[in-house]
Structure 1
Amino acid sequence: MFVTVIAVSFLMLPHGVALWACTRSCPPSCTCTQEKSCTVLCDRANMVELPAEFPCEASSINLEKNSLKFLAERAFGTLPSLKSLSLDHNNISFITPGAFKGLPNLLELKMAHNEYIRYLHTRTFTSLKRLVRLDLSDCNLFNMPDRIFLEQISLKELLCFQNNFRRIPGAIRGMENLTHIYLERNKIEAVAYNSLLGLSNLKYLNLQDNRISVIHDEAFKDLRRLENFYLNDNLLAELPQQSFKGLNRLKMLNLGGNLLTNVSKNWFGDLVELEVLYLDRNRLSFIEVGAFENLTSLMTLHLNSNNLTTLPFTVFQPIYFIGRLYLFRNPWECNCELEWLKEWMESYKLVRDIPCTSPSSVAGLDLSEVMYARLNGTCVDPAELNLTTAIPDYPTTENKFNSLISKLLHQELREEMGNSTEGPRNGTLLEPAEGQVSSAHRSSSAGKILHLLLACLFFLQAPASLSSLINAS
């Protein structure tokens, strides 16, 4: 057994501040800057083992994109000035407990993209009491010991995206200083009532692109300072009624890419500072009146790529000052319930691309191209425009009666014209004299028209029958 003695020289400055001086040369295959707190660059150096020693005043060491496989105890010696250490993109498969001892002032540790790390010991990060940022992304981790961060009382940012977690690691519970957690692209299936307990200073939480289908009631109750929340691209078909209760500092909420079919009026009641809301790429067909009424700070709302056919004005009236509204890729029924939206589009230029699916008279048109007529001051759906577009603002029963007579006369005229040309076309009738043709046709037409007029005069005495006839036509 032997002990390696590290000689470190330093200069005492006023007030007892020590300035570390470099007493070693730069490691082979690395480059070092000349500053007093030097940066050691050993990335892309084809290393399979760590250098035997580093400059003792090194403040940053970059060992990215090498072939390191193993970290022994005190792997980096004693480096009291080291603030940042990057081991991204290596082949590390095992980390001895205590590997980072001797780095008492380390603030950032990056170990992302080490695909062979599947397990971490409870004492992996022993002595890193000042660690602020830890990146363990894309490491094939299945879980972490619950007490692995017992000493990391200063940890603010934890990046663990693209691993194999099936639940939110219990290790983060009670970590009051955490402000950012990245857990996207894992295999998390649920958010339990106790998964996020004690995270009272959390501002950013990313759970997107997991397999979350269940969220327990009050699962987010401790996230009082949360500002950005990503729950998109999961398997959520429903949410607890009070899911986001108490999150009154939330600025952005992303629920896109789930299986939601409706928007409850109880979900967003406390989100008075919410500015951006994503509900796109769901299966929404219904939004409850009052769902957005407390979103008084909302600037952008994404409702595109859903199954919405209508959007009543009553849903949006309390937040009519919204900045951007995305509605494309929905099967819109462009009836009078969307007239307010068309007017809003024209007035504020904040909405566009609202293609109509129905009624058939406007299918394929954009809502901005649909023309709404009015009958006695009331909007008329485009499906009825064939009967109303030529009618002025003072339509009466007499007008409708005149329209009916006009239609009957035109129909009779078309039939007579058809009869007059049918003979020569078929070539089977003898051609009568000119006077006979005119007299016969006139007699027939006059008789039929007189019959129609008498019938219509009869219906004038029976308004209900006339109304039925007009509607049927």
Structure 2
Amino acid sequence: MCKCAPEEVIHCNRAGLRALPGEIAASTVSLNLSNNYLRILTTNTFRNLTFLHSLWLDGNNLTFLSPGTFHALSKLRELDLSRNSRLTYLHANTFRGLLNLISLDLSHCNIFEIHPLLFSHLPSLERLNLASNNMRYVPQAFSNLSSLTRLSLESNHIEAIGRDSLKDLESLYDLNLRKNRIWIIQNGAFTRLLRLGVLNLGHNFIADLPNQLFNGLIQLKTMHLEANRITDVDCTFRLLLNLRNLYLNNNQISSISDSAFSYLNKLHFLHLSKNNLSSLPLRLFVELPKLKHVFLSHNPWKCDCKMLWFLRWTAMFRGALEGLDCAFPSHHNTTALGGPQPGDPMDCTAPPELESKDTCGAAGISMAPGPLAPTSKVFLLAAICHTWYSARRWDSSAALL
């Protein structure tokens, strides 16, 4: 029931197998055993397949892998064990012999604990997928994975990231911790991840962002913190000099420090939709020369004098600004047409000096733009209408994000 390709590739996908076929050529390079009924693999199962480069065992009923099951597969580069829901525990010597393995997929199993020495036989491993298991803490099994560049722990039950949890992963580029229960991250947890380019902490329970939390991430390009419980943003991101994409949407942010994004000279994508923001501090976007996309929809914006500076900034901004839904008093309240009311933008002639919430110290203070010249009410009303119209036009597209 298996199909053989001319280049020593055998496909036994969905073949109803309960054991390995007896006559598989020793020269086989790629073997697909996905979606069958295999339960137990022993040390003899693959002993003659010494030329294997790729082995797929995903979607079976594996319950136990004998220590040394793969010991003869020294040339194996890719191993997929995902979607074996009965696989709960792996012996320390399970992967002994896989000296050239590059990719290992253990996702969608029921692994709740990993032996500290499980990966000690995998010096060449670059990609490790442990997503959708039952782990409640970061395994202490990463100490020998000096070549690892991609690690996924998505959709587990992890609650804390300790100071030493990731300390040995100095080659890591992509770390996915999305959809866990993380609410504690010790300072120094990411200090040694000097090559990390993508960090996904979205859909967790993170509420606080200490100022030193992301120290060491000097090469980080993309940060996901969406769908957490963050209420304030202070100086947490100021040392992420290579950051390009920042996702802070779907939080509870009501306050942002005026130099929260200082020194982020390469930031070009900022997502702040679905928060509790009513206004933005005066200096927030001043030092973001590469900013191209800003998403602000579904916030309770209050467009009074505190946001007058924002009208001026949008006139100079050359990127895409989406989702600013303002409720201007003079637009919705017909009684205001007789004259400007307190707080009405039409009554502002210059931006107010906003109280700084920055606690970064003198080194973090960014220069504020010069005072705006007195603006006629006619010109300001036109700017307000233009901004309101643009926000309405973009709001439908922003809702799709």
TM-score (norm 2): 0.82
Q: Equivalent of 1:177, from 132, 141, 147?
A: 147
**Pair 1:378-2:350 in alignment:** yes
Corresponding residue for 2:294?
Answer: 325
Corresponding residue for 1:314?
Answer: 283
Corresponding residue for 1:168?
Answer: 138
List, as ranges, runs of 4+ consecutive aligned residues in structure 1 with deviation greater than 2 Å.
Answer: 336-349, 359-364, 371-375, 377-380, 389-393
Cα deviation code 1:382-429 (max 9, x no counterpart): xxxxxxx99899xxxxxxxxxxxxxxxxxxxxxxxxxxxxxxxxxxxx
Give the CA RMSD over aligned residues.
Answer: 2.2
- Mean Cα displacement is larger for which, 40-49 or 67-76? 67-76
Give distance in 2, aligned partners of 1:313 and 1:321.
18
**Does the CA-based 8 Å contact 1:345-1:352 persist in structure 2?**
no
Q: By how many angstroms is 1:312 displaced?
A: 2.1
Larger Rg: 1
Matched letter for residue 301 of structure 1: L
Indicate how the Cα distance of structure 1 residues 285 and 362 shifts in structure 2: closer, same or farther if over 3 A, else same. Answer: farther
Cα deviation code 1:299-326 (max 9, x no counterpart): 0001110000001231221115411011
Corresponding residue for 2:371?
Answer: none
Give distance in 2, aligned partners of 1:53 and 1:103.
18
Corresponding residue for 1:60?
Answer: 30
Give distance in 1, aligned partners of 2:208 and 2:331.
34
**Does the CA-based 8 Å contact 2:278-2:300 persist in structure 1?**
yes
SS in 1 for 2:314: helix
Q: Give the % identical residues.
A: 37
Q: By how many angstroms is 1:353 displaced?
A: 2.0
**Pair 1:151-2:121 in alignment:** yes
Higher RCO, 1 or 2 (CA under 8 Å, sep at least 6)?
2
Corresponding residue for 1:219?
Answer: 189
**Pair 1:281-2:250 in alignment:** yes
Give distance in 2, aligned partners of 1:392 and 1:134.
65
**Does the CA-based 8 Å contact 1:174-1:197 persist in structure 2?**
no
Gaps of 5+ in 1: 1-28, 365-370, 381-388, 394-473
- Mean Cα displacement is larger for which, 165-174 or 209-218? 165-174
Corresponding residue for 1:262?
Answer: 232
Indicate how the Cα distance of structure 1 residues 349 and 373 shifts in structure 2: closer, same or farther if over 3 A, else same. Answer: farther
Gaps of 5+ in 2: 334-343, 353-374, 380-401
Q: By how many angstroms is 1:362 displaced?
A: 4.2
Corresponding residue for 1:31?
Answer: 3
Matched letter for residue 146 of structure 1: P
Matched letter for residue 244 of structure 2: E
**Does the CA-based 8 Å contact 2:256-2:281 persist in structure 1?**
no
SS in 2 for 1:315: coil
Indicate how the Cα distance of structure 1 residues 80 and 262 shifts in structure 2: closer, same or farther if over 3 A, else same. Answer: same
SS in 1 for 2:128: strand
**Does the CA-based 8 Å contact 2:265-2:288 persist in structure 1?**
yes
**Does the CA-based 8 Å contact 2:170-2:192 persist in structure 1?**
yes
**Does the CA-based 8 Å contact 1:74-1:102 persist in structure 2?**
no
Give distance in 1, aligned partners of 2:24 and 2:190.
45
5 Å matches for 1:223-372? 223-265=193-235, 267-347=236-316, 348=318, 350-357=320-327, 360-362=329-331, 372=345
Matched letter for residue 124 of structure 1: T
5 Å matches for 1:48-197? 48-197=18-167
Indicate how the Cα distance of structure 1 residues 342 and 68 shifts in structure 2: closer, same or farther if over 3 A, else same. Answer: same
Matched letter for residue 125 of structure 2: L
SS in 2 for 1:205: strand
Cα deviation code 1:249-268 (max 9, x no counterpart): 00000111111110012x11
